């Protein structure tokens, strides 16, 4: 069942709140990267996909891989809200012995693979999509990557291969927030024009507003490409989205919010 746009936006605000609190409490970085992909993850989990704890061992379930594993807090917030594990687990995020570390770990409920090293999610997604085709399943596979991640050669190996296999139930979302760890992503490498690159590689490549959750849900539910192409959503986003003093400021790739900064940030997220 798909939630209404108002509900989706509320979910997104609540995820942002959790992301901010986790970063503040645990002192972990990548806050800007975690905030830029909130709507992408909201759409993936609440947009009608079969991503639910009740299907956790069902091979027919849809698959989602957070390939940009450094946005783990966004994923954890979503998985907790979805009931993959108790919300109380978030209290111990990044503490010694917690299953919820700074990067996602397989074995955590709802998480199949290790990400954090970039460029791993898409090849795995291709394998999942081929496995489904071999076994006659029609589930979907969605991979969320970052724009900086597109520096990795393995991304482009996979980008070449998936269209050759006509994997039209595979969707990639690129969180194009225009920054990577230490510079503008379009300057560090010649990333732009990003949509055209994927299109030239044989993908159904669409540019979307990565904070327009309704549009993201629309594309995630769009019929598979009749030409057999996999789909990539080049999602224009803002790093640090949702908190005015963090937006498009790359210091928040590593900075940890103080108590007063957290309070100011949460005040901007109302109503919760």
Alpha-carbon gap, residue 67 to 143, rounded angstroms: 6
Pick between residue 5 and residue 59 the one whose CB is nearest to another protein. Answer: 59
Considering only residues 44 to 73 of the shown chain, the ones binding another protein according to CB under 8 A are 59, 63
Stretch that binds another protein, among 86-94, 113-121, 198-206, 241-249 (CB under 8 A): 113-121
Which pair of structure tokens corresponds to residue 267?
């005040």
To which H or E segment does residue 125 belong? Answer: helix 121-134
Tell me how crowded residue 137 is: count the other CB atoms within 10 A of its CB.
16
Residue 157 touches another protein, criterion: CB under 8 A: yes
Pick between residue 51 and residue 213 the one whose CB is nearest to another protein. Answer: 51
Contact 176, 248 (CB under 8 A): no
Q: CB of residue 122 vs another protein: minimum separation in angstroms?
A: 8
Q: What is the DSSP letter of 89?
A: G
Per CB under 8 A, the list member of 19, 38, 124, 234 interacting with another protein is 124
Which pair of structure tokens corresponds to residue 21?
């609190």
Considering only residues 88 to 107 of the shown chain, the ones binding another protein according to CB under 8 A are 105-107
Per CB under 8 A, the list member of 161, 192, 219, 261 interacting with another protein is 161
Minimal CA–CA distance to 167: which of 206, 137, 209?
A: 137
Alpha-carbon gap, residue 69 to 119, rounded angstroms: 10
Q: CB of residue 162 vs another protein: minimum separation in angstroms?
A: 10
Name the residues that contact another protein, by CB under 8 A. 59, 63, 105-107, 112-114, 117, 119-120, 122-135, 153-154, 157-158, 160-161, 165
């Amino acid at each position: 069942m798909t939630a209404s746009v108002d509900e989706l936006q509320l979910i997104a605000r609540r995820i942002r709140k959790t992301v901010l609190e986790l970063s503040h409490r645990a002192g972990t970085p990548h806050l800007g990267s975690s905030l830029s992909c909130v709507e992408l993850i909201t759409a993936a989990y609440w947009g009608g996909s079969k991503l639910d704890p009740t299907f956790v061992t069902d091979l027919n379930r849809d698959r989602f891989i957070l390939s940009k594993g450094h946005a783990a807090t966004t994923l954890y917030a979503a998985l907790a809200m979805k009931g993959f594990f108790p919300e109380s687990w978030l209290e111990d995020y990044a503490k010694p012995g917690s299953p919820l570390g700074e990067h996602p770990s397989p074995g955590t409920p709802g998480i199949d693979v290790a990400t954090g090293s970039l460029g791993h999610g898409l090849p795995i997604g291709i394998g999942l999509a081929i496995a489904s085709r071999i076994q006659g399943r029609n589930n979907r596979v969605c991979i969320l990557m970052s724009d900086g991640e597109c520096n990795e050669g393995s991304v482009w190996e996979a980008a070449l291969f998936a269209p050759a296999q006509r994997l039209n139930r595979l969707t990639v979302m690129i969180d194009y927030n225009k920054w990577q760890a230490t510079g503008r992503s379009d300057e560090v490498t010649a990333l732009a024009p990003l949509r055209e690159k994927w299109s030239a590689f044989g993908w159904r490549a669409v540019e979307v507003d990565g904070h327009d959750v309704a549009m993201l849900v629309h594309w995630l539910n769009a019929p598979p490409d009749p030409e057999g192409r996999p789909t990539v959503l080049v999602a224009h986003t803002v790093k640090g989205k949702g908190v005015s003093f963090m937006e498009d400021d790359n210091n928040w790739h590593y900075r940890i919010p103080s108590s007063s900064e957290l309070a100011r940030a949460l005040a901007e997220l109302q109503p919760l």
